[in-house]
Structure 1
Amino acid sequence: MKKRRMFFFGVILFVLTGCQPSAFGGESIIEWVDFIKLQGIEYNGIYSGVLADEHDIGEKIGTVNFRVADNVTNANYKIKDGDAAFHEKGTEIFQVKDQPHLIAVKDAHAINGYQVYFSRDDLDYQWHFKDMPIEKVKLIEIYQSVPAEKDTLIAKLTKSEDVNTFLQLLVESEENPNFQPNSEKGDPLFYEMVFYTEDPIAYKFTMQFDGNTYYWYPWDTSILSDEIQLFMNGN
């Protein structure tokens, strides 16, 4: 099982390996980075973060004019203002309050209702686990992911003792990049862990359970203690 990751190295798009241009117009199969371009600025999706509170949404600052995914097959296409990788025409774009380099769009399937984006020209990506100020985490939510549906909240940790214990289990997880999940019981269960600090963007990381082992990806695959099960089905 290959681990999926997204990287932001200033690449707007790339052509899949082995894909050849067509003899009838140079069409290619393109995999797009999740982006929005607005007012000359390119914003990339924050894949390990969610909006902490919908009250942090500010004024509307634009609208998507064109969805490039499934509509553009020319690898030389130059993105322009109003273009978005995956959002449909008419999608409203909002400023995040007091955060000039962050924007958001409504998403019914996203935790807390919005997808958030950062200006890659003004900010480095800063939502990895190593970037998270653990001492500032006050609330942890755990969601079970269901394909094509909104994630279901299964646990909320509010007591400082529970929050600290859960964080310690993550910190003490054992890195094992060669781990292979057990597939005898089918596909693993997917969970999203959301960590709230005082910032408008909460950190979000994926955890999986293959029927025997809980594991996650702070960077390389890491195995979690069975004690994590104690937090999976209660408030």
Structure 2
Amino acid sequence: MPMKKKWFIFTILILLAGCSEATIEWTDFLEFQGDQYLASPHVEISDPNFIGEPIGEIKKKLKDHVKNAKYTPKNGDAAYLEAGTKLYSVINHSHLVAVRDSNKINGYKIYVKEGYVSDKRILEQIDPPSFKKIEVYEEVEYNQFLFKKLIEKNEELQTLIALLQSNQTNDSVVYREEDPQSKAFTFILYSTSPIAEKHAIYFNGEHYFDKNHHILSKKIEDFLVGTEESESG
């Protein structure tokens, strides 16, 4: 039985001056041909050549336009995408929808059909030999990425993936963007798939760690130095 269409809609009721006013907090989703698709922060299109033909467009942006918390999304609705936004297929991946997004490293945001993505850590499913290259970026500002290094040698790929697969957890580590010592990095792991896995790590001045508070070895610093910096050093 399919899930109800309001799966991705969350509401907070706020009482103002004795009257109830519903403020809707939307999750980033779109409705297309009877299915809901949720934006995935953990993947990138590996190559724009894998983007297929246009398959539709957004008809209505819900944020700031829908005030009824009981609203049921309709075909062509999206939480944050503007009306007229083109939807694209991803070749051989019918469960994915892509939209152009200049803030994404490879130019497209990927939406995944509801119920398709598991909640398991991506890196727990990694088969090192399946990856062809890894790109390393530093997030210098929100959604602004500075390319640091391309890793293609098999030995280096396996070493880096092993470092990223840490199981040492420390829930006390926190990333604070305003701290001048803090840094954020993004690894894009490419295979033969149209979809590249995206993995973020953080540095708080003392520890490197991922979003699940897994502490990483400081040996990972060897992969965070840009090519030009490495050559000049």
Query: For the residues of structure 2 that align with 1:73 and 1:182, how far apart are their CA atoms?
Result: 33
Query: For the residues of structure 1 that align with 2:81 and 2:19, how far apart are their CA atoms?
Result: 26
Deviations 1:99-124 (Å, cap 9, x if unpaired)?
11111000001010000111115x24
Report the residue type matching 1:11 in the other structure. W
Count of paired positions: 221
Aligned counterpart, 1:14: 10
Query: For the residues of structure 2 that align with 1:62 and 1:184, how far apart are their CA atoms?
Result: 40
Name the SS of the counterpart of 2:106 in structure 1.
Answer: helix
Counterpart contact for 1:182–1:211, Cα < 8 Å: no
Moved more, 131-140 or 56-65: 131-140
Query: For the residues of structure 2 that align with 1:103 and 1:65, how far apart are their CA atoms?
Result: 15
Query: For the residues of structure 1 that align with 2:175 and 2:217, how far apart are their CA atoms?
Result: 15
Counterpart contact for 1:206–1:216, Cα < 8 Å: yes
Aligned counterpart, 1:110: 104
Greater strand fraction, Structure 1 or Structure 2 = 2
Aligned counterpart, 1:206: 200
Query: For the residues of structure 2 that align with 1:80 and 1:24, how far apart are their CA atoms?
Result: 32
Match of 1:125 among 118, 127, 148: 118
Identity of aligned residues (%): 30
The TM-score, its normalising length taken from structure 1, stands at 0.84
Query: For the residues of structure 1 that align with 2:64 and 2:182, how far apart are their CA atoms?
Result: 29
Unmatched 5+ stretches in structure 2:
1-5, 228-233
Aligned counterpart, 2:231: none
Report the residue type matching 1:125 in the other structure. S
Deviations 1:64-83 (Å, cap 9, x if unpaired)?
11111222222111111111
Structure 1's consecutive aligned runs of 4 or more residues displaced over 4 angstroms after TM superposition are 21-26, 180-185
Aligned counterpart, 1:3: none
Task: Confirm whether residue 27 of structure 1 aligns to residue 12 of structure 2.
Answer: no
Task: Confirm whether residue 140 of structure 1 aligns to residue 140 of structure 2.
Answer: no
Query: For the residues of structure 2 that align with 1:39 and 1:140, how far apart are their CA atoms?
Result: 35
Which runs of structure 2 are paired with 1:170-189 in the superposition (5 Å)? 170-172=164-166, 174-180=168-174, 185-186=179-180, 188-189=182-183
Aligned counterpart, 1:73: 67
Match of 2:223 among 227, 231, 235: 231
Match of 2:157 among 158, 163, 182: 163
Query: For the residues of structure 1 that align with 2:55 and 2:47, how far apart are their CA atoms?
Result: 19
Deviations 1:207-233 (Å, cap 9, x if unpaired)?
11122221113xx30111111111112
Sort the Cα spacing of 1:130 and 1:156 in 2 relative to 1 into closer, same or farther, 3 A. Answer: same
